[in-house]
Structure 1
Amino acid sequence: MTDIQSLFKEHCIVPDVVKIAPSELLNVQYPSGVAITMGKELTPTQVKDKPTVKWAAKEEEYYTLAMVDPDAPSRESPKFREWHHWLVGNILGSDMNKGEVLSDYIGSGPPKGTGLHRYVYLIYKQTGKCDFSKVPKLPNNSGDKRGKFSIAKFAEQHKLGTPVAGNFYLAQYDDYVPKLYAKLKG
């Protein structure tokens, strides 16, 4: 078992988000200068802008990237599990610019007093180019249709299999969160 798989189990991402943890590390670097160190705490301020992601991609293959929060609105009461923050499909190789944005990036926004949330990044290798025409395209200025999402069900529906790479961090409320909520009311 790899460190990734051990930490996904230790933090209950397996089974809360996926049944099988990925074996490869997904590198995530934010414009603020911070990178995800698996399972470490970051602030909503540090992760407010869309990051750069890198993994061991094959240039002729298609991939799907997801970022989800299984702890919405809190880990004790996850009635909106999962809230998806970012969803991009049909990424050719590792070129995120060549992907189909299904849900534009929204940074972490854990409500005040709800403690630490897990923010999980997953990469799935597609068997070919997928038809995502029936998937609603969500902008980054609205939280509508993001709650009660299941990346496992989405992966099953689109025949994505199990994730090949992943990473995660923890975050709790900071003074950026009200600014994010104002943006989402748009």
Structure 2
Amino acid sequence: MAALGSFLMLCTCISGLFHVEATSDTLSSLDSSFCHGGLEVIYPELDVDECLIIPKSRKLREKVSTVWKAPQIYFSGAHKKKMYTLVMVDPDAPSRTNPTSAYWRHWLVVDIQGDALKKGQIQGTSLADYRPPTPPHKSGFHRYQFMLFEQPPDAPVSLTGQEKSSRGKWDLQAFITRFDLGEPVATLQFLTQNYKD
């Protein structure tokens, strides 16, 4: 068992996984209080397990916007036999001071198997394929929020024709209410801005 732990630690070091620590002087209290429940979002060089601002260092903002594909999602609190819905939105589109297109839907996956979530995998049905965070130039910081909901049993979750036609101006609360998703079991967010700013 110790050998396995050492091997995993070595793999992590070699892959250059960058764990970013959030501090009280980087986030407002409102932004830092959003995260709860133990959700983890894992990009190739960035492990997000608490609310944070993505730093410019190592070109992380550019990579999250232009290079990396959908992250791994890990939730240790998942119940093996339950199904989950994952939502990723930008409530600050096109800017935090003028969010006229909020909520912008970046990713929506339903019918996620609980046992897969415990392993850091997404096995479900994609209703909106992953779109990376791409905040417009000079629009300031955007919050990218991940919300994980436990799906009620035998309740198929889908998008209306109108919802499918546009990712912007999504009424997230109406979606949550329509499928009786309730409060999210876990939430996480990171803030980033256009990598050229």
TM class, shorter-length: 0.7 to 0.9
The 5 Å alignment of 1:8-19 reads 10-11=30-31
Q: Which amino acid aligns with 1:52?
A: Q
Does the CA contact (< 8 Å) of 1:124 and 1:163 recur in 2? Answer: yes
How many residue pairs get matched? Answer: 157
The CA deviation at 1:150 is 2.8
RMSD: 2.6
| Higher alpha-carbon Rg | 2
Quote the residue 2:79 is aligned against: 58
Does the CA contact (< 8 Å) of 1:102 and 1:135 recur in 2? Answer: no
Does the CA contact (< 8 Å) of 2:84 and 2:150 recur in 1? Answer: yes
Quote the residue 2:16 is aligned against: none
Runs of 4+ in 1 over 6 A off after TM superposition: none
Distance 1:8 1:98, change over 3 A: farther
CA distance in 1, matches of 2:174, 2:115: 24
Quote the residue 1:153 is aligned against: 174
More helix by share: 2
CA distance in 1, matches of 2:185, 2:62: 26
CA distance in 1, matches of 2:190, 2:115: 21
Does the CA contact (< 8 Å) of 1:44 and 1:172 recur in 2? Answer: no
Instruction: Select the residue among 54, 58, 63 that pairs with 1:45.
Output: 63
Quote the residue 2:57 is aligned against: none
Does the CA contact (< 8 Å) of 1:63 and 1:123 recur in 2? Answer: yes
The 5 Å alignment of 1:1-186 reads 10-11=30-31, 23-31=36-44, 33-42=45-54, 43-46=61-64, 48-55=68-75, 56-95=77-116, 96-135=121-160, 145-175=166-196
Which digits, 9 at most, give the CA deviation of each residue in 1:63-121, with x for residues without a partner?
00000000000000000011010000111214254311000111101000000000000
The CA deviation at 1:12 is 8.7
Does the CA contact (< 8 Å) of 1:64 and 1:87 recur in 2? Answer: yes
The CA deviation at 1:38 is 2.7
Gaps in structure 1 of 5+ consecutive residues: 1-6, 14-20, 139-143, 176-186
CA distance in 2, matches of 1:53, 1:92: 12
Does the CA contact (< 8 Å) of 2:72 and 2:122 recur in 1? Answer: no
Percent identity (aligned): 32
CA distance in 1, matches of 2:108, 2:114: 16
TM-score by length of 2: 0.70
Does the CA contact (< 8 Å) of 1:80 and 1:147 recur in 2? Answer: yes
The CA deviation at 1:46 is 2.8
Q: Which structure is higher in RCO with an 8 Å CA cutoff and minimum separation 6?
A: 1
Worse-matched range after superposition: 33-42 or 71-80: 33-42
CA distance in 1, matches of 2:35, 2:138: 31
Secondary structure of the 1:38 match is coil
